[in-house]
Structure 1
Amino acid sequence: MSVPLDEKEIDDLRRRLGELSDRSAVTDLVARLGVWLDGHGLDDPGTVFTADVTAVTPGGVQQGIDAVAAGARGQHSGYARLQHFTSNVLVDLDGDEASVRANLVAVFISGGDRPATRVLVGHYRFGTRRTPQGWRIARLEVLPSWGAPVDSAALIPSPAA
């Protein structure tokens, strides 16, 4: 037997469903950034960033989508493979904006003109904004905790003879 809901309960359910939907979309956006970076930033940056995005990374400060995309491509080019892992994504919603914190582990596999494989561990801070195209990153900050070169042979075993 079900009990009918009154208008206040229905409105509360709609609000809560909207909040869950927004949290899911922002969490997906964080994952989409990792996929975009792993692809060396070759896909459309407009699927991840706002036009007026600001990025503060170990590579410097970039302002605007073209500069952020170029900065990411420059920092990630020359590596044979990339893998960005994010975890513990915390989303603080505030209407059409959200603040986000996430842990970061990034692995850069040597190749091309990059002689050393390295690992970067730290966290991200994002400012995100709802746009007509969906949620996008308006501010990105990479806060490294530590980084180190690693032995590529330990990460990528040689094929059996």
Structure 2
Amino acid sequence: MTSRPDHFDISTLISLYFRTLDEREFPENWACAYFTDDVWTVTPIGTSQGIDAMWHTREAIERYARTQHMSSDVLVHTDAASGRTTASWNALMRHVHHGSTLQALGPDTQPVFTVGGVYRAELRRTPDGWRMAHMEVTAIWTTGTPPHLPSAPQPPTS
């Protein structure tokens, strides 16, 4: 069982992470506020390992003019025997295409791509608070025109 303060702290971490994505706040080392140095993630755009690989999240968000990520039903569980803490939550993610994307993809392109999904994470308590050590996103359903993904994500050129 997870304590109420821990559940609150983990739920807040998730909300702040989503808010950062939508506000496009990516200062240097932004991912350190949410993830461990050895984090690994599995998302619809690929797998990343290590805090320095989290640039792919920024790249994914910047493919859109605007986004809105909403989380709900956060469930947190700590296994007393192993001390392992996990969380899962539902997410609704709306992505508004750039005008240039709409123009390039043609008149049948829907301006909003929406994903309903589930996140799962393993968390660690660090001296700075809870951080996600593993995060996985599973898309359950989508509507609208999805992005055209590059064959392999490329790091930003700054």
TM-score interval, normalised by the smaller of the two chains:
0.7 to 0.9
Does residue 1:148 correspond to 2:143, yes or no?
yes
Alignment correspondent of 1:59? 45
Alignment correspondent of 1:47? 33
The counterpart of 1:121, out of the listed 96, 116, 123, is 116
Q: Which has the larger radius of gyration?
A: 1
CA distance in structure 2 between the aligned counterparts of 1:72 and 1:52, rounded to whole angstroms:
16
Q: Which runs of 4 or more aligned residues in structure 1 lie more than 6 Å from their structure 2 counterparts after TM superposition?
A: none
Unaligned runs of 5+ in 1: 1-15, 151-161
CA distance in structure 1 between the aligned counterparts of 2:13 and 2:79, rounded to whole angstroms:
16
Q: CA deviation at 1:113?
A: 4.4
Alignment correspondent of 1:73? 58
Does residue 1:133 correspond to 2:153, yes or no?
no
CA displacement 1:30-81 (0-9 Å, x = unmatched): 111211221335141111111111010000100011112x110121113111
CA RMSD in angstroms, aligned pairs only: 2.0
Alignment size in residue pairs: 133
Unaligned runs of 5+ in 2: 103-110, 146-158
Could you tell me whether the CA contact under 8 Å between 1:78 and 1:113 is conserved in 2? Answer: no
Give the alignment's TM-score, normalised by structure 1.
0.75
Does residue 1:82 correspond to 2:77, yes or no?
no
Within-5 A mapping of 1:25-44: 25-40=9-24, 42-43=26-27, 44=30
CA distance in structure 2 between the aligned counterparts of 1:119 and 1:110, rounded to whole angstroms:
11
CA distance in structure 2 between the aligned counterparts of 1:31 and 1:58, rounded to whole angstroms:
20
Bigger helix share: 1
Alignment correspondent of 2:149? none
Aligned-residue sequence identity (percent) comes to 33
What code does the residue aligned with 1:92 have? H
After superposing the two structures, state which structure 1 stretch, 94-103 or 134-143, moved more: 94-103
Does residue 1:92 correspond to 2:81, yes or no?
no
Give the alignment's TM-score, normalised by structure 2.
0.77
CA distance in structure 1 between the aligned counterparts of 2:132 and 2:100, rounded to whole angstroms:
30
